[in-house]
Amino acid sequence: MHYLYIIYSNSIDKYYVGETTDPEFRLKLHNQHAFERSFSKIASDWELLLKIKCTSKEDAIYLERFVKRMKSRKFIQKILIQPEILNDILSKK
């Protein structure tokens, strides 16, 4: 099972979107700076705001890329309020 996840850092006031099989473990890795090339290395206070179960890795990657392509904080905040938006996006894939 794969998940799309959204994490947030209060210290830098930024969101990060990713995909994984284990969102809680991935959160620990982000906070430990395990990803040297990742944007998330600039903070250590990431918190998991949303995890959406996807039926396949392909769907999770599709959603991750879709959200990242939007480059919109407002869009991420809208997803946090209405996660069902992601189902609509997948249905139009």
* pLDDT reported for residue 38: 87
Residue 56 lies in a domain: yes
- Number of structural domains found in the chain: 1
Rounded-to-integer distance, Cα 19 and Cα 28, Å: 14
Tokens 């996807």, residue?
54
- Please say whether the beta carbons of 47 and 7 come within 8 A: yes
Show the domain range for 65.
2-85
Domain containing residue 60: CATH number = 3.40.1440.10
* pLDDT reported for residue 31: 96
* pLDDT reported for residue 93: 80
Residue 32 lies in a domain: yes
For 23-79, how does the pLDDT look when each residue is reduced to its tens digit (9 = 90+)?
999 999 999 999 888 899 999 999 999 999 999 999 999 999 999 999 999 999 999
Q: At what angle do helices 57-70 and 73-81 cross, to 10 degrees?
A: 130
Three-state SS at 92: coil
Residue 35 lies in a domain: yes
Residue 78 lies in a domain: yes
